[in-house]
Amino acid sequence: MKIKFYKYQGAGNDFILVDNRQDVVNHHNPSLVSRLCDRRFGIGGDGMMFLQDVEGYDFEMVYYNSDGQPSSMCGNGGRCIVAFAKFLGVIDRETNFLAVDGPHYAKISEDGEWVSLQMIDVDTINRDGEAYVLNTGSPHYIELVHGLKDKDVYSDGHAIRNNGTYKAKGINVNFVEPLNEGYFVRTFERGVEDETFACGTGVTAVALAMAKHNHQTGKLNTPIKVLGGDLNIRFETDGTHYNHIFLEGPAKQVFEGEVEI
């Protein structure tokens, strides 16, 4: 059977998207998803998403990592599926949709290429030595470093993700360096098991962790540079609770095609 797919990218985080409102694809198939995400033998992508109908919301986002396993929340994936929903005519400029970590609200620009996605509230930021650990829909480890441009993110990230503390459940590892008014971030993602060009829940976690690190409160706006471009996180905090969190950035359709499954 052939299915139609669409390829989207958000700041270099790339995804395969399928309109599955008619339940045509049985996507509970890790070998199929991992094959399609393979960059040599498939379409290629950091993950794969299925847009589905669900009662009470505009749509449901079902996300799989490139290893074929169901994933926790993907922020850039969330922004891309909002752009996809607008392309399909499911939504116009605003949406409420359901993801694995619960409901999300989002707004999209008229041209459909800039998405502001509301993330879950955060009330807990822990420490692991000098690093910060928190969950923004996915678990993240945040470490401030120097010379990030030349850092071996794969080796260092792989070592942290697979250490005794995190190996069983995995964690996304973010290395951070101050840059102008914001930060430069590089991320090793679990499930992909490699560095990606961007990580939406990761840059969100970085913005919150750096606000705590710098004892900032109030309404904050944090620009972040990733390998794939520029993202922005805005939120409010009293120093303990973090809410009204929005991940903002580009979401663009790259190409479409058909594939045999």
Low-confidence ranges of the chain (pLDDT < 50): none
Give the count of domains, the chain: 2
pLDDT number for residue 117:
98
pLDDT number for residue 212:
98
pLDDT number for residue 181:
95
Catalytic residue status for 80: no
Instruction: Please check whether residues 180 and 71 belong to one and the same domain.
Output: no
Instruction: Please check whether residues 163 and 57 belong to one and the same domain.
Output: no
Q: Is the distance from CB of 125 to CB of 212 less than 8 angstroms?
A: yes
Instruction: Please check whether residues 131 and 225 belong to one and the same domain.
Output: yes
Instruction: Please check whether residues 112 and 182 belong to one and the same domain.
Output: no
Which of the residues 62, 73, 74, 133 is marked catalytic?
74
pLDDT number for residue 53:
98
Instruction: Please check whether residues 133 and 243 belong to one and the same domain.
Output: yes
Q: Is the distance from CB of 258 to CB of 248 less than 8 angstroms?
A: no
The SS3 assignment for 126 reads strand
What's the CA gap between 136 and 126, in Å, rounded? Answer: 13
What's the CA gap between 32 and 140, in Å, rounded? Answer: 27
Catalytic residue status for 199: yes
Cα–Cα distances (Å) from 193 to 54, 124, 130, 174, in that order, read 31, 26, 23, 13
Which of the residues 61, 120, 199, 209 is marked catalytic?
199
Instruction: Please check whether residues 164 and 82 belong to one and the same domain.
Output: no
pLDDT number for residue 227:
98
Domain containing 79 equals 2-118+251-260
pLDDT number for residue 13:
96
Count the Cβ atoms, other than its own, within 10 Å of residue 177. 16
Q: Give the CATH number for residue 199.
A: 3.10.310.10
